Structure 1
Amino acid sequence: MTEVRKLWIPGDGIRLESALRVAERPRALAAVMHPHPLHGGTLHNPVIFHSDRELHRVGMTTLRFNSRGTGESEGTHDDGRGEIEDIAAAVAWLRGLAPGVPMLLVGFSFGAVCSIGYAIRDANIRGVIALGLPVDKYPFDELPLLKRPLFVVQAENDEFGTPDRVRQRTEGMQPAATIRVIENTTHLFPERARDAASAVVDSAETLLSDR
């Protein structure tokens, strides 16, 4: 069984509780962020856990982390603003571990919102994999500014944005968004965490094969 190292990485004046899986000669790095912490989202979320584990299984070094004010992470929840800085901290820490290796962002719901927010400003992100993109809950006014590949893993009956709504909101993006649908489930992918994780891995493989 792969060792998962618990550690704290430095943020902007705070420490973030994290879980690291190291791959020997990693194909990619992945910073993995949980759903909304005010609704129970943590790095132990089953969809995040399985996605992280499966990405490592195919040769990636992964870092799950609790955003500020979540779990044992220091700081206070900041409604997305500070959490984007938490992603910046995770990305910088991973890049220090393996310079020059492609960087992926994986986020679930609120974590997807923050991952997109960070990727807009970092042209060196290989791509974003968004689970349960809540297009009916957030305005996503800056979505057209995202110039990195976006892969969306969406539940067929997602109550915060059906796959059709995701297609509408991402229409015209360059590069075009790719949407993978998990059938017969809702936003949190109950009983379908492993299926969602498989779609994350498929998305990551496509991102890495594009170059």
Structure 2
Amino acid sequence: MPEVIFAGPEGRLEGRYQKGKGENAPIALILHPHPQFGGTMNNKLCYEMYHMFARRGFAVLRFNFRGVGRSQGEYDQGQGELSDAATALDYLQSLNPNAPFVWVAGFSFGSWIGMQLLMRRPEIVGFISASACANLYDFTFLAPCPSSGIVIHGENDRICPWQETEDMVAKTRTQKGRKVEFAMVPGADHFFEANLEDYMKVAEGYLDRRLQQPPEGEYFD
């Protein structure tokens, strides 16, 4: 998995990039948890999602937000991190100009950033969000949500009770033909540390089901 350094809004950003299979491979962007609470691109769940997409032929990028690892800049309350994510997607698309579609996957803080990003980028056709903290972040911008995706939460999440996230998903309006699903992993905490395999089964099952649908089907324009 080659290390990459690319220009970000506040200096260089550090990432890991896996080339896709074929010239027209789809692309996926992975977004890590909160920078001020130990979140990095090498988070185990982010690492596993990165390889989940790579195994399915995607060109995939995970990177450190500003101020994390070798990425320059300072934490910016989510606004700068959203700019980082947009720049990372631009970079990923520059490496894969023929990519037919984009997925974004985020964990906790990264899920909030990823779901903001998909509101701005119509090429994003699917998302996977882990531990989306509906009690900590405002998700009312999903009005309506333009892409289909899944929000996966741990039953024993003490940082964000699953009921609040499920309620957020239930209230999210979607564009015609789009659907946001909610899945709970029994016994899992916010970080899925003891239930990573269970989490990945849900994520992989959803991704495989979506990829089996034709591009012109329910989930794609």
Of 73, 83, 86 in structure 1, the residue corresponding to residue 84 of structure 2 is: 86
Q: Partner of 1:136 in structure 2?
A: 135
Distance 2:84 2:25 in 1: 23
Does residue 1:205 correspond to 2:213, yes or no?
no
Specify the alignment match of 1:181 in structure 2: 184
Q: Do residues 196 (structure 1) and 209 (structure 2) align?
A: no
User: What is the deviation of 1:27?
Assistant: 4.2
Gaps (5+ residues) in structure 1?
none
Matched, 1:21 2:18: yes
Question: Is the counterpart of residue 39 in structure 1 residue 37 in structure 2?
Answer: yes
> Equivalent residue for 2:59?
61
Report the counterpart of residue 156 of structure 2 in structure 1: 157
Give the fraction of aligned pairs with identical amino acids, expressed as a percent: 26
Partners of 1:148 and 1:167 lie apart in 2 by 17
Per-residue CA deviations over 1:145-194 (Å, capped at 9, x if unaligned) read: 42111311111122233443222112242133112222111000012223
Paired with 1:187 and 1:24, the residues of 2 have a C-alpha distance of 33
Is the 8 Å Cα contact of residues 51 and 198 (structure 1) preserved in structure 2?
Answer: no
Aligned length: 208
Match of 2:124 in 1: 125
Over the aligned positions, Cα root-mean-square deviation in angstroms equals 1.7
Shift, 1:122, TM fit:
1.1
| Partners of 2:65 and 2:49 in 1: CA distance | 18
Residue 49 in 1 paired to residue 47 in 2? Answer: yes
Contact 2:25–2:98 (8 Å) recurs in 1: no
* Contact preservation (8 Å) 2:152, 2:182: yes
2:2 aligns to what?
5
Gaps of 5+ in 2: 216-221
Deviations 1:23-82 (A, max 9, x none): 222642111011001000001101111111122112211101000111110111111101
Does residue 107 of structure 2 align to residue 108 of structure 1? Answer: yes
1:197 aligned counterpart, secondary structure: helix
Greater shift in the superposed pair: 179-188 or 158-167: 158-167
**TM-score, structure 2 normalization:** 0.87
Q: Could you tell me whether the CA contact under 8 Å between 1:126 and 1:207 is conserved in 2?
A: no
Residue 120 of structure 1 aligns to a residue in which SS? Answer: helix
Shift of 1:198: 3.2
SS in 1 for 2:143: helix
- Give the structure-1-normalised TM-score: 0.91
Between 1 and 2, higher relative CO (CA 8 Å, sep ≥ 6) is seen in: 1
Give 1:10 deviation, angstroms. 1.7
